[in-house]
Amino acid sequence: MKFTHIAGVLATLTSSTGVLAQQQTNNQTGPFLLKLTSTNETLNGNYLGACHAGAAIEALCLIGKNISTINRSAATFFWNYTIYDGQPSESGSLVWTLQLSGGIMNVSEPLSVSYNPGTNVAVPMLTPGGVAQQVGFNGSTLYVPGYPDDSNFKYGEYPTNLSTTQLTNWHACWLFAGSYYYNALAWVTSGAPHNPTCQADEAPEQDEAPEQNEAEEDEDEEDQEEA
């Protein structure tokens, strides 16, 4: 009898676990490219691509406007998100795939943000060991969910508006990513950027990734191995 009771409890727990598993699923969209939209015509239309900043660490560099000449593997991204009870999450993680040993091994690198206490200009980085920065897409525009907005806080009063805001504090700046100096995507925490090279109104837009022929794929794999 005891055995029957225990078996029944285990069956119930297994069934419950199955229900929970069905309620939450992990999904991925992509592949896609990221292209800057900017009021600066020199920067407008530049694609973003992973550029070497250390061992399995990359920044997001401006790699050119001509889609036929950019390193497609460096510029191809995915977005991971969760569906819970049939509702997709508004934010998730932007990921890039590092191909090693000629594509035999792939390493997923989520976007994280590296902060420097000496400046308000932070560096978005791709690294397998980083804590993924939550990001979302408003239409095709990449944003960071902000919570809460403390600009209207009052002394001694509990804030009434704690809604999430969609922040797009993206800039293109000449900056250090590790020990490498690049023209790359940056995130300004608030106010005017401390770095005078930063150009504002840079919004990364999701762009469809066209098909790639075999010759281009071979070239991209060689470029990644050299990086």
Segment 74-124, tens digit of pLDDT: 999 999 999 988 888 889 999 999 988 766 788 999 999 999 999 999 999
Rg (alpha carbons) of the chain, rounded to whole number: 21
Is residue 188 very low, low, confident or very high in pLDDT (cuts 50, 70, 90)? very high
* Per-residue model confidence (pLDDT) at position 24: 81
Question: Is 208 a residue whose pLDDT tops 70?
Answer: yes
Closest among 22, 63, 19, 51 to 207, alpha carbons compared: 63
| pTM for the full predicted model | 0.80
Is residue 163 very low, low, confident or very high in pLDDT (cuts 50, 70, 90)? confident
**52 or 203: which leads in pLDDT:** 52
Give the phi and the psi of residue 184 in degrees, each rounded to 5: -140, 170
* Per-residue model confidence (pLDDT) at position 103: 64
> For the chain, what are the domain ranges?
23-226
**Collapsing DSSP states into helix, strand and coil, what is residue 196?**
coil
Is residue 156 very low, low, confident or very high in pLDDT (cuts 50, 70, 90)? very high
